[in-house]
Chains A and B, each alone.
Chain A
Amino acid sequence: MKNLKLLLFSLLMTTTLLAQKGYDIGDVATDFKLENIDGNFISLSDFTQAKGFILIFTCNTCPYAVAYEDRIEALNKKYASKGYPVVAIMPNDISIKPGDSLAAMKKRATEKGFTFPYVIDREQSIFPQYGATKTPHVYILEKENNTNIVRYIGAIDDNYKDASMVKTKYVENAVDALLNSKEVSISKTKAIGCSIKI
């Protein structure tokens, strides 16, 4: 009995550890049902016309996320009509970051004129599955036989400070490649961000 308990415990630990690792390129990404700023619940499966998604874990309160707000909106303007809409997910615990509450998200989205869904991972159950650790943290997904395959993980571009000084637009390049049925040449990038508050 003791051995069985130990075995179960080890299994549980292993699954937890695996779950914490998150997705790699080529993995199937989970769908979700999360509340949007307009009160409706959003799932990836709702986007029947989409070819894929630019999924961005972001928030109101992180200066890096704020620095990228306009660029995230521009991505949606450019790619939603081409089949790659932006879906933004706010992953922080709002008891630690009250500035990221649904009401605050709605306010910020209205001020900035966001045209993409901005949903809240209130139970904090989605971001760990993806393996998101910070804001902003981008996952580009490609729809394939009704599943969503991870094609890119990382930063939006290579200059958080100044959009006009960007040399490589990682996300745009990746989506352009997918739209042209090509391989994504840079599929993983790293950037400083604010750790997700749990």
Chain B
Amino acid sequence: MRFFKYFIFVFLVFGCIPHQKELEVYDFQGIDSFLHQKDSKVHVVNFWATWCAPCVKELPYFEQLQENFEKDVEVLLISLDFPNQYETKLKPFLKKKQLKSKVIVLDDVNMNTWIPQIDSKWDGAIPVTLIYNKNKRQFYPQSFTYDELVNEVQKFLN
């Protein structure tokens, strides 16, 4: 009986704590495979950070896109938040927003090497978005509205 009580106690304590998702943090080599998936989906990869106001503003459009094109589109949000702000800014932000799209984190100081590998036109300002499927890819150094985003994705779906 005592054991049973103990079991219930443990169950209540640990079972009720909401599961805190761990961040997936990669260096550039680590994210490379996310940028070259060869399945039949259209991949929409957005580089953002919680400190970037225009990025945060357009996040709902990416969420909306993921929801409305669930079958054909996969949205990936790559955060460029600072490591010393993962706990204080990024994790609380993700918890509050409950994003449906997959979020990973890129932590690689070697920017002068990896930025041009994503696109030669990118000078480092965010937000930027990469849309690709197994046949083609396009880089967008700009902010999006929902309609603009759908419009671009449609070009990859047809």
Contacts and interface: CB of A to CB of B under 8 A. Distances in A.
A194 B125 contact: yes
Contacts, number: 59
Interface string B100-115: 0000000001111001
Interface stretch (B5-13, B17-25, B116-124): B116-124
Given A133-B123, A195-B52, A195-B126, A161 B82 contact: yes
B51 A133 contact: no
A67 B28 CA distance: 21
B110 A158 contact: yes
B125 A133 contact: yes
Contact of B109 (A62, A160, A193, A195): A160
Interface of A: 62-63, 67, 96, 133-134, 154-155, 158-162, 165, 189-197
Interface string B114-142: 01100000111111000000000000000
Interface of B: 51-54, 80, 82-83, 85, 109-112, 115-116, 122-127
Contacts of B82: 63, 67, 161
A193 B115 CA distance: 12
A133 to B, nearest CB: 5
A134 B124 contact: yes
Contact of A189 (B51, B53, B83, B112): B112
6 closest Cβ pairs, A-B complex: A134-B125, A195-B125, A190-B115, A191-B111, A189-B112, A133-B125
A155 B111 CA distance: 10
